[in-house]
Structure 1
């Protein structure tokens, strides 16, 4: 069994100290095995914001991390850096692995960098990335729950912001699910949800789910949803439990929703 802490869109530079402390307290209480941070660590890709994001991750005291950049993690106004060294700030603090992977006994987590310097906020996955992730999924061990992580979402509830969907998802989702993906984690829209991918991709022959995290610590909450994060528990029988935690002032993070999923594994 493994416990994954899925946070997204921390947007350091707009963080709320009380909420930061509540995430740290939850991590100390639940002691997750893996931290997944699915992009937008910073508000404006500034050095001090990346430094604050790194300090936050270190304070969580989680032994394994998978951290991806989001569109806010490349400079918006510094055009030269955006064109020639868009990930310089991210690399300085979090390294230059843009296809990170965590291979545990019962779970495989694969990260995909979907940000592009030539796009303002919309994400994109290339044919080469789709193929590389599918190949790695096919090589997973039968007992592993297989998780792919992007920043921009591969699916959304029908009433939510379709313009924010990942470009290339029409090719990526069928390829990844056919290759064995069970969950695709993301963020970007600050709206938490769990949704069967078959709702938008009825041709799928396996069960798989899109899992989105809200903004973990930022004041940039949207759509009447406050700060939110997910804890994901994998079980040896292929069962996956996704718990959504929302923040309440004075009370910290508490469970508000739970999904008990049975993967094909």
Structure 2
């Protein structure tokens, strides 16, 4: 069993200290094989905010991490920095590679930098990025869970969120589906959900899912949804004739217990057959 912890939109600079402590406790209890930070790591891309984010990642110990930038990780008010060295502080904290990858026998995770300094907050995926990711996906093994990480979403559940959709998503989703992708992880809109992309995009013959995370640590929550993270469990052997089995669990921070608690679980069907998902509400 492989376990992936998805953390998004931490917005260091607006983080809530009790939630940070609770998330570190959850990570310690789960012992994930990988922690993914899917963008907007900081609030305003400042050195001290990235230093706080780096300290948080260091507190995870030896757990591998994969970090992609979000639009908030590019300077907004410092126009010179935004145009000339937009990722300097991010790279100082997390290394030069803005599109990191992680691979194990059961897991292939590919980061995509969808931010653009010339855009305010919108994201974009280029044809070059689409092809690069597709080539890695096509080389994956049959047992691996194949995951792509963007910041902006490729699909939304509400009309008001359509303005936040990733530019270039149509060609990316189509191409990555043909290459064998299973999940596309995202953040940006602080709204957690799981969507079947094979029902959202016409012509997809492969089951592929959008897995969106809420804001993990910031007080900038959305509506009635508190701080939230996703826990993804993948069994490469499965329990049904050797089929791969994947679940996505949503864990929300509880003000009462001051801990993250599982509130929903999605059992996902993978592969090329007809779509199927079972949702279980916790409690």
TM interval, shorter chain, is over 0.9
Matching residue of 1:107:
107
Please show how residues 169-248 of structure 1 align to structure 2 within 5 Å.
169-236=169-236, 237=238, 238-248=244-254
**How far 1:160 moved relative to its partner?**
4.6
| TM-score scaled by length of structure 2 | 0.92
SS in 1 for 2:181: coil
Matching residue of 2:94:
94
Matching residue of 1:166:
166
CA distance in 2, matches of 1:158, 1:118: 26
CA distance in 1, matches of 2:62, 2:270: 25
Unaligned runs of 5+ in 2: 239-243, 273-283
Structure 1 contact 145–263 (Cα < 8 Å) conserved:
no
Please show how residues 244-259 of structure 1 align to structure 2 within 5 Å.
244-251=250-257, 252-259=259-266
Cα deviations across residues 84-116 of structure 1 (Å, max 9, x unaligned)? 000000000101112211011111000000000
Matching residue of 2:116:
116
**How far 1:177 moved relative to its partner?**
0.8
CA distance in 2, matches of 1:125, 1:92: 24
Matching residue of 2:138:
138
**How far 1:249 moved relative to its partner?**
1.3
Cα deviations across residues 216-241 of structure 1 (Å, max 9, x unaligned)? 00000013211000010110131111
Matching residue of 1:20:
20
CA distance in 2, matches of 1:62, 1:23: 16
Unaligned runs of 5+ in 1: none
SS in 1 for 2:99: coil
Matching residue of 2:150:
150
Matching residue of 2:275:
none
**How far 1:202 moved relative to its partner?**
2.6
Cα deviations across residues 125-145 of structure 1 (Å, max 9, x unaligned)? 001000110111001011111
SS in 2 for 1:176: helix
Cα deviations across residues 156-201 of structure 1 (Å, max 9, x unaligned)? 1144510000000011001001100000000000000001002320
SS in 2 for 1:19: helix
Structure 2 contact 31–63 (Cα < 8 Å) conserved:
no
Structure 1 contact 35–62 (Cα < 8 Å) conserved:
no
Structure 1 contact 12–218 (Cα < 8 Å) conserved:
yes
**How far 1:250 moved relative to its partner?**
3.5
CA distance in 1, matches of 2:64, 2:95: 14
SS in 2 for 1:99: coil
Over aligned residue pairs, what C-alpha RMSD do you find?
1.1
Q: How many residues align?
A: 265
| TM-score scaled by length of structure 1 | 0.98
Structure 1 contact 191–223 (Cα < 8 Å) conserved:
no
SS in 2 for 1:66: strand
Cα deviations across residues 24-56 of structure 1 (Å, max 9, x unaligned)? 010111111100000000000000000000111
